[in-house]
Structure 1
Amino acid sequence: MTQKFPCIKTLRQNKLLLWLLILTITIIWGYAWVLMKASIEFMGPFSFSFLRFGVGTVTLMLFVWLLKIGIPPRESWKHLLIVGTLQTAIVFLFVMFALRYVDAGKSSVLLYSMPIWSSMLATKFLQEKITPAKMAGLWIGMLGLLTILGWDIWVGQNPSIIIGELLIIIAAISWAVSNVYYRIHVQDLPKIQATAFQMLFGTIAIFIVTLFMEWGEPVHLNAQSTYYILFTGVLASALCFTVWFIILGMIDMVTATISTMLVPMFGLVFSSLLLNEEMTPSIVVGFVLIVIGIIVAQLKNPRLQ
Structure 2
Amino acid sequence: MLPKHKWMIWIVILVVTLIWGYAWILMKSALQYMGPFTFSAFRFGTGALTMLIVLWLMKVGKPPKGKWGHLIIVGILQTSIVFLLVMYGMIFVEAGKSSVLLYSMPIWSSLLAAKFLTEKIPYMKLLGLGVGLIGLLTILGWDIWAKQDSRVIFGEILIIIAAISWGASNVYYRLKFKGVSQLQVNTYQMVFGTLGIILAAVVMEWGRPISLTTESIYYILFTGVLASALCFTVWFMLLSIIDMVTATISTLLVPVFGMFFGWLFLEEELTVSILIGSSLILSGIVIANLVKKKT
TM score, norm. by length of structure 1: 0.85
What is the aligned partner in structure 1 of residue 41 from structure 2? 50
The aligned runs of 1:286-301 (5 Å cut-off) are 286=277, 300-301=291-292
What is the aligned partner in structure 1 of residue 200 from structure 2? 209
What is the aligned partner in structure 2 of residue 120 from structure 1? 111
Cα distance in structure 1, aligned partners of 2:124 and 2:243: 19
Cα distance in structure 2, aligned partners of 1:119 and 1:17: 24
Of 65, 77, 82, which aligns to 2:68?
77
Of 214, 220, 227, which aligns to 1:223?
214
Shift of 1:251: 4.1
The aligned runs of 1:7-86 (5 Å cut-off) are 8=2, 11-12=3-4, 16-86=7-77
SS of the residue 1:188 aligns to:
coil
What is the aligned partner in structure 1 of residue 190 from structure 2? 199
Cα distance in structure 2, aligned partners of 1:302 and 1:272: 38
Note the alpha carbon deviations across 1:97-153, whole angstroms, 9 max, x for none: 111122212211221111111111111111123566666566656655655667225
Cα distance in structure 1, aligned partners of 2:26 and 2:19: 11
Shift of 1:168: 1.3
The aligned runs of 1:85-164 (5 Å cut-off) are 85-129=76-120, 143=134, 147=138, 151-164=142-155
Shift of 1:66: 1.7
Aligned residues: 294
Name whichever of 245-254 and 37-46 sits farther off. Answer: 245-254
The one-letter code sitting in structure 2 at the alignment partner of 1:46 is: F
Cα distance in structure 2, aligned partners of 1:185 and 1:110: 27
Cα distance in structure 1, aligned partners of 2:8 and 2:211: 39
Task: Give the share of equivalent positions with the same residue, in percent.
Answer: 57
What is the aligned partner in structure 2 of residue 237 from structure 1? 228
Shift of 1:288: 5.1
RMSD over aligned CA atoms reads 2.7
Q: Unmatched 5+ residue regions in structure 1?
A: 3-7
TM score, norm. by length of structure 2: 0.88
Cα distance in structure 2, aligned partners of 1:39 and 1:268: 17
Cα distance in structure 2, aligned partners of 1:151 and 1:111: 18
Name whichever of 14-23 and 257-266 sits farther off. Answer: 14-23
What is the aligned partner in structure 2 of residue 167 from structure 1? 158
> Is 1:187 aligned to 2:178, yes or no?
yes
What is the aligned partner in structure 2 of residue 5 from structure 1? none
Shift of 1:166: 1.8
Name whichever of 179-188 and 88-97 sits farther off. Answer: 179-188
Cα distance in structure 1, aligned partners of 2:289 and 2:170: 15
SS of the residue 1:204 aligns to:
helix
The one-letter code sitting in structure 1 at the alignment partner of 2:232 is: F
Cα distance in structure 2, aligned partners of 1:64 and 1:302: 35
CA contact under 8 A between 1:116 and 1:141: conserved in structure 2?
Answer: no
CA contact under 8 A between 2:113 and 2:244: conserved in structure 1?
Answer: no
Shift of 1:275: 1.5
SS of the residue 2:119 aligns to:
coil
Shift of 1:88: 0.5
